[in-house]
Amino acid sequence: MNRVVAAGLHSYFYDAENRIIQVNGTMGQCSTAAACYVYDAEGHRVRATVNGQTRDFIYDLSGRNIDEFTPGGSGWLGTWTRGEAYAGSLHIATYANGTTEFDNSDWLTNEVFKVEKRRPQMKNYSQFHDGNLEGLWIDETVVHVYLRTLEKERFVAVAEGVVALAVSGFRAGNLIFEVVTRNHEEITFSDIADLYDLQEGPAGETQGVRLLEKARQEHLTLLEINPSYGATCIVMAHSVDLLARNEWRVAH
């Protein structure tokens, strides 16, 4: 049985497995919706249509998202827009925006793989999937990001010593796809390009390399919130802490 949850100006439709399948519109009519989603038999989200833009996702046997396509183009699956490469359980490279970025350049030149060069796993706060980004409070170099889980548990991500912040597409009822953090070793050139909206070409690449080197030297942390619907939020700061909202009130 499907269920509907209304939140402010938006209605969220769920399937029998408690997975969100549509935001707004008439149930079952994706053309009327702000967003709609399709899942496979394993529960993976294989299609997302947001504001009329559709993306298809392919997963490997371990359940990892390895490819992203947009319908149309010359390929039989559509236009390939993103790919992830793994060696066993280790993530080694990402293809996006026409560029392949390896997690560690040493892998390209060293004949023997060095275990100590492995990239640490980034943190993925899966409890926020299908939750909400409720708002931000900026106090000089401190940014508070207010989050709510699908079970309506409230948290605040406190970023202190913020050096860069990028927020776009903010709406009422921002629906979260994922919340991740990366330490200074895990921050990539793509993160920097998204955060600073770098220009394409040599000048942008030079600036990006410089900013990435600085982020790593200063041991910065990156917080990224990717939406199913609504706002994208990226914060780079000297520290990021996630607190239950009641803990934050006591501390402040």
Q: Which helix H or strand E contains 38, and what residues bound it? A: strand 35-39
For 192, other C-beta atoms within 10 Å of its C-beta total 24
Confidence of residue 75 (pLDDT cuts 50, 70, 90): low
Phi, psi of 207, rounded to the nearest 5 degrees: -65, -40
Give the structural domain span for 231. 123-251
Same domain? 152 vs 234: yes
Spatial distance between the Cα atoms of 205 and 192, rounded to a whole number of angstroms: 10
Same domain? 33 vs 67: no
pLDDT at 103: 63
Asked if pLDDT for residue 102 goes beyond 90, the answer is no
pLDDT at 143: 94
- Cβ–Cβ under 8 Å, residues 192 and 216: no
pLDDT at 63: 83
Classify 92 as helix, strand or coil.
strand
Asked if pLDDT for residue 178 goes beyond 60, the answer is yes
Number of structural domains in the chain: 3
For 137, other C-beta atoms within 10 Å of its C-beta total 11
Same domain? 188 vs 167: yes
- Chain centroid to CA 13: 22
Across the chain, what does the average pLDDT equal? 81
Same domain? 17 vs 61: no
Asked if pLDDT for residue 124 goes beyond 70, the answer is no
Burial code (b: 16+ CB inside 10 Å, e: under 16) for 57-79 equals bbeeeeeeeebbbbeeeeeeebe
Give the end of a domain, one of 78, 96, 119: 119
Asked if pLDDT for residue 118 goes beyond 90, the answer is no
Whole-prediction pTM: 0.58
Give the mean pLDDT of 180-195: 89
Same domain? 241 vs 179: yes
Confidence of residue 202 (pLDDT cuts 50, 70, 90): confident
Give the end of a domain, one of 81, 103, 119: 119
Segment 51-66, tens digit of pLDDT: 888 989 998 888 888 8
Same domain? 133 vs 190: yes
pLDDT at 129: 86
- Cβ–Cβ under 8 Å, residues 84 and 94: yes
Same domain? 107 vs 130: no
pLDDT at 79: 85
Same domain? 162 vs 241: yes
Same domain? 162 vs 201: yes
Give the mean pLDDT of 156-172: 91
Range of weakest confidence among 149-163, 192-206, 224-238: 192-206
Same domain? 38 vs 64: no
Asked if pLDDT for residue 237 goes beyond 90, the answer is yes
Same domain? 225 vs 150: yes
Same domain? 130 vs 239: yes
